[in-house]
Chain A
Amino acid sequence: MEVCVAIVTTQEKSSGTAKAQHQLLRFAVRRVCLGALTLFAVCVVVFLATQVLPGDAAQAVLGRSATPARLQEIRTQLHLDQPLMMQFWTWVSGILTGDPGRSLVNGTQVSDFVYPRVINSAVLLLLTSVVSFPVSIILGVVAALYAGRFMDTGISIVALSLAALPEFVVGILLILLLSTSVFHLLPAVSLVPPGSSVLQNPIILVMPVLTLSVVCFPYLFRMTRASVIEVLGSEYIEMARLKGVSTPRLIFVHALPNALAPVVQVIALTLAYLAGGVVLVEFVFGYPGVGQGLLDSIVARDIPVIQLIVLLLAAVYVLLNLTADLIAVLLTPKMSAHQWQST
């Protein structure tokens, strides 16, 4: 009999798991579809926005030497005189077949301009994540453990001060410190010769990664700290303590997994911030990333380039949010996918 009961419970349990998995799958599919819809909407809105901007690519190319005859000639060349729907359709059909077209202002392949920058930005994002996330989380846990004591106060003051500094100020201070004025250890700007990879000369990555890590640190640190403190104050931790669980086990097995859900959300937001083109940092270091690329192409009214970059950035946002939500669902068994869906 006991065996029977056991079998029944297992069956119930497994069908429950299957149901949960099914729900999770439905949740994911629904979110992916919504994401695709979002991307399309973004493309339409951005395309319309480029039309509202004063001037066009022909004017950007000719600058002050524009004459009516030359403007007309270049507009015809670039098909800027075609109806809006037509221009948009040409671009959409190009993207669907994997050909984002040519730059309006210099005739090079859009992909040649965008993809190297995407890789540069991705490298920056990955390295910053690898450096700053573990450090922030560990320091967050440490601060939580020593909450209210000297160690906590010290780290928190540093974090708050850093949070108050805009990223370009951090960048410039680091340059003054490490490159130009105090020490002369690192290159002040991160020049990447076109056609070569940033990884061929990794030293140029140090300054931007350091800057971004400093910029990202406070938020993640504070979120980890708050979250861990909250969990440490809960009853089950008290219970575990009373049972005599060792501190490392208490932190890593009992407290941290439960404290991670909000941290994951902040990580996702930070990654989205990093992916969204950290224009100011790219600007300060002359680093050829997507942010500066987007800015340049907007000034030049280079619509195919603007569209592709925005599409890629929007896709990254959608994917990051989706992943963060899925991880959060998995980390919070109490909260079913259904509940997340309704939030």
Chain B
Amino acid sequence: MSNLQNPILSGISRRDVLRSGLIGGAGLALAASSGLSAFAQSTVPKRGGNLRVAFLGATPTETLDPHAGVVQQDFARALGLYEPLVEMQADASIKNALAESMEPNADATEWTIKLRSGVKFHDGKTLSAKDVAFTFQRIVNPKAPLSGAITLAPLDVDNMKVVDDLTLKIPMKVPFAVFPECICSAVYYAIVPEGFDPTKPVGTGPFKFQSFTPGQQSTFVRFDDYHGGGAYIDTLTITSFASDVAAFNALQSAQVDALAAAPLSLVRQVGAGGAIKALVSEPGQWTPFTMRVDQPPFDKPDVRKAFRLLVDRKQMIDIALSGYGEVGNDVFSRWDPFYDMSLQRTRDVDQAKFLLKKAGEENLAVELVTSDFANGVPQMAQVFARQARDAGVTVSVRQVTPDVFYGDQYKQWNFAQDFWLHFPYLPQIAECHLPGATFNETHWGNEQYIKMYNQAVGTTDPALRKEIVHALMKIDFEEGGYIIPSFNKMVDLLANNVEGLTQARTGYAMGHFGWKSVWLS
């Protein structure tokens, strides 16, 4: 009541109410009607402008082929140009994109895909079931298999049936109930038109291709016939930098509008209230230590467990990640709907010592191979070495360059580290925990585990699947070859006028490359 007596104070108060209403997303109409249009304009997304984003790690190997991307700028471009059938969102949920529905038969041996109608490719062609069939054939082509080939192995691509323009039936070689969550990204599973040529890329995404020079720059323009609500920005320019300092300087002198996935050393230089703001993501990336379960000393489960027990996870996050992380407990896929949060592990050096003694591995000395392929990775190795000393384990850290790390010896290292983005749990197992999987760094191949995995992906009953997933997670937690000390947050640095990006859970930069939602004020 006293506020109302003072006209100035009451004005501020009303504005505050409006502002909080707007943030909640509910006060929009109210603001417009109350005559505070100037205020409303600054929060209603504005169309137009060119968004210039800097990425680190420039390399001439960059590609526009969505099925063969390797570095994050490849993924960033893929999410602008293309769309998958179903798509993971920034909050890690999965929604239909080009598919209107995907239905399995009773035993999950055949899937029927119904496509959204009236979807246009950038060249004006309409999306049809034939394009989807072509896409899957392109990915698994036995003569030139692409990145998603192993995940799509259950598909019987030779017997796919185009029922009509918008309906495709895909038979499976084995029951495969988790098909949609396996193909939920434009990275690796983008739908491309028949006769696709990656040098003249055509997709259905919100942005059309304009130019591309690998390792330097690529430009895209908004696709005005996009089937969903189109993007706000007119053009998107992606520039690759070799030097993080140059990229940061470019941001500071307004030559770019954003620096995606900034190194934490640069993040520390950004003060509050300046011309640059930080977008801190939800924890999504994970950088595990990988122990080869088929080689001594890690073939002994007690040694693996001891190593997991000797990690002080909180300290590791504080030191190596400058606090940008959430404690992990050695089980991946943090945002899977079935994720078991009850699996928690705290540091216990005595127990670790006891287990090592039991395994006959007192005074163990191992080499840990590390490389600077993601924020904080070599630092995590150093912290681990320090913490291991408390349990009498000598860890000598060997740092190699990323090209050596991911060269011939990748997956041969006995004790090393790796880097992952968020992916649902069962598809993640197909990537890293099955014998023959592309990234099976730990050489995990427990028979019981594989049997349970096959059962889980073969059942259409979600309750049963959840039960099996929890049992699998329990095995990961007790015996697995990973130490996952944290789920890491990533930080994008944005110019103050870059708006509309959310805190993604997926480990992708720039709010899960939110090119559709981003706008410039």
Contact = CB atoms under 8 A, between A and B. Distances in A.
Q: Decide whether A and B assemble into one complex.
A: yes
Interface of A: 54-55, 59-67, 69-70, 73, 103, 105-108, 113, 172, 175, 179-180, 184, 187-189, 191, 193-195, 283-286, 288, 292, 295-297, 299-300, 302, 305
B145 A70 contact: yes
Contact of B250 (A61, A195, A286, A300): A286
Contact of B406 (A63, A172, A191, A305): A63
B246 interface: yes
A188 B255 contact: yes
A266 to B, nearest CB: 29
- Which 3 residue pairs spanning A and B have beta carbons closest together? A194-B213, A188-B249, A188-B253
Contacts of B59: 60, 296, 299-300
A262 B44 CA distance: 68
Interface stretch (B21-29, B237-245, B287-295, B345-353): B237-245
B60 A285 contact: no
A179 B250 CA distance: 10
Given A73-B145, A189-B253, 14 more contacts: A54-B404, A59-B403, A63-B406, A66-B406, A66-B410, A70-B146, A73-B143, A106-B214, A179-B253, A188-B246, A188-B249, A188-B252, A189-B250, A195-B211
Contacts of A283: 242-243, 246
B63 interface: yes
A304 to B, nearest CB: 11
Interface in B420-463: 438-439
A108 to B, nearest CB: 7
Nearest to B199: A107
Interface residues of B, number: 42
Contacts of B241: 286
A38 B135 CA distance: 51
B438 A65 contact: yes
Given A65-B70, A191-B239, A296 B211 contact: no
Given A65-B147, A105-B60, A288-B216, A55 B246 contact: no
A189 B246 contact: yes
B253 A180 contact: yes
B270 to A, nearest CB: 12
19 contacts: A54-B404, A60-B61, A61-B70, A64-B70, A65-B68, A69-B145, A103-B60, A105-B60, A106-B63, A106-B214, A113-B60, A187-B253, A188-B253, A189-B247, A191-B217, A195-B213, A283-B243, A284-B245, A300-B59
Given A64-B406, A67-B438, A180 B61 contact: no
B23 to A, nearest CB: 32
B62 interface: yes
A284 B211 contact: no
B503 to A, nearest CB: 26
B144 interface: yes
Contacts of A189: 246-247, 249-250, 253, 255
B242 A295 contact: yes
Contacts of A60: 59, 61, 403
A11 B238 CA distance: 71
A63 B71 contact: yes
A59 B402 CA distance: 12
Contacts of A64: 70, 406, 410, 439
A28 B124 CA distance: 63
B58 interface: yes
Contacts of B146: 70
Interface string B243-264: 1011101101101000000000
A286 B213 contact: no
B60 A296 contact: yes
A292 B245 contact: no
B239 A172 contact: no
Nearest to A297: B60
A46 to B, nearest CB: 18
B430 to A, nearest CB: 13
A54 B406 CA distance: 11
Contacts of B63: 106
Nearest to B52: A191
A86 B59 CA distance: 27
Interface in B126-179: 143-147, 150
A180 B270 CA distance: 13
A175 to B, nearest CB: 6
B245 A106 contact: no
B229 interface: no
Interface in B21-64: 58-63
A62 B146 CA distance: 10
Contacts of A62: 70
A193 B407 CA distance: 32
B255 to A, nearest CB: 6
B407 A55 contact: yes
Nearest to A63: B70
Contact of B255 (A54, A73, A187): A187
B507 interface: no
B211 A191 contact: no
Nearest to B437: A67
A64 B216 CA distance: 21
A295 B253 CA distance: 26
B215 interface: yes
A271 to B, nearest CB: 25
Contacts of A108: 214
Contacts of B150: 67
Interface in B362-408: 403-404, 406-408
Contacts of A284: 243, 245-246
Contacts of B255: 187-189, 191
Contacts of A180: 249, 252-253
B70 A286 contact: no
A39 B267 CA distance: 46
Contacts of B439: 64
Nearest to A74: B144
Nearest to B239: A191
Contact of A286 (B211, B243, B252, B406): B243
From B145, B216, B438, name the one whose CB has the most chain A CB atoms within 10 angstroms. Answer: B216
Contacts of A175: 249
Contacts of A299: 59, 403
B250 A191 contact: yes
A302 B243 contact: no
B61 A63 contact: yes
Contacts of A69: 145
A55 B403 CA distance: 8
A61 B71 CA distance: 10
B408 A55 contact: yes
Contacts of B253: 179-180, 184, 187-189
A194 B216 CA distance: 7
Contacts of A297: 60
Interface string B262-275: 00000000000000
Contacts of A55: 403-404, 407-408
A175 B214 CA distance: 27
A70 B142 CA distance: 10
A19 to B, nearest CB: 53
Contacts of A302: 60
Interface string B186-217: 00000000000001000000000001011111
A283 B248 CA distance: 12
Nearest to B144: A73
